Structure 1
Amino acid sequence: MEFFEKNEMLRAGSEVKVTVLVVEDNRVERMRLQAVLQSMGMAPILAENATEALRFIKKRKVDIVLSDWLMPGMTGLEFCQRLAEDEDLGRPYFIMLTGRNASVDLIAAMDAGADDYIAKPAWREELRVRLQAGVRSLNRAGRRHQISSTPGLVWVDAKA
């Protein structure tokens, strides 16, 4: 599958949209997440597995990764560990999105380096507030410019 690179870091005037790499092997869920993220003013990039996502991250930086856990090949947990271990990959904010909802799964994901954890199905408003938490975290770490007052999750590009 090809990434939707045209959506990466979309610029509209002086605004830079948040790029979210969605890693999901289920096509219907991937398309649903794309639509939800676009409606929030974000720039989703889609990958159908962790290997494809890792290849993309080696070429381009992303702000947030929203990854399924159970995927063929490399699992979301293994993908998260790889990102946490390799500083050259930019360490995006990582949200594990999975049907696994036991406490031990949450602990395993966070121990692997995930910044947040959402059990499926991910409701729009829960996803929105967790993404906002990711943006706040990135802002505090000085990785991005502060969020503008515009509705949605859009950053103002200070260079414009």
Structure 2
Amino acid sequence: MKLGMLELLKKWANKLAAGLSDLRVAIILLLVIASSSGLGTAIPQGEPNSFYLERYNPHPWLGFLGGEQLLNLELDHLYTSNWFLFLLAWLAVALLLCSLRRQWPALKAGLRWLDYSQPRQLSKLAVATSINNSNGDQALLDLATHLRQKGWAVKPGPQRLAARRGLVG
């Protein structure tokens, strides 16, 4: 019973993370935050409540937002309002999850060796080089030692050598 509940919770968490990390959500949040910032620029911030009641009750802002509505929506201190800070936190979480969900698999793939073994595969690489040497095996061992000393990761194979340095490799 507990295992089924754990699987259900994990599935729900994955769906939630996928929804939050959707780039479309982040773009919508950016648009909402930008629009809200525009409101904060157009409406004076940090004035006493009486200022908004006296100014916007007789003449509502944009024809529909009176002083009471401005105060209830916390538009008198928009940049420190709970809902605006929540939008900023939601955007941060969405971008963090989006980055983790996209970059972590790319990093893991970059750390894996792509070991080409066929000459046709190797010839397509821009940095592939073939060197003929009469002392093949010993030359490969010497080259592997030299590359390791220069900070390369080396993966020797039969009559061949693969080396990489960093993620670009």
Bigger Rg, structure 1 or 2: 2
Higher relative contact order (CA 8 A, sep 6+): 1
TM-score scaled by length of structure 1 = 0.22
- Which one has a larger percent strand, Structure 1 or Structure 2? 1
- Which one has a larger percent helix, Structure 1 or Structure 2? 2
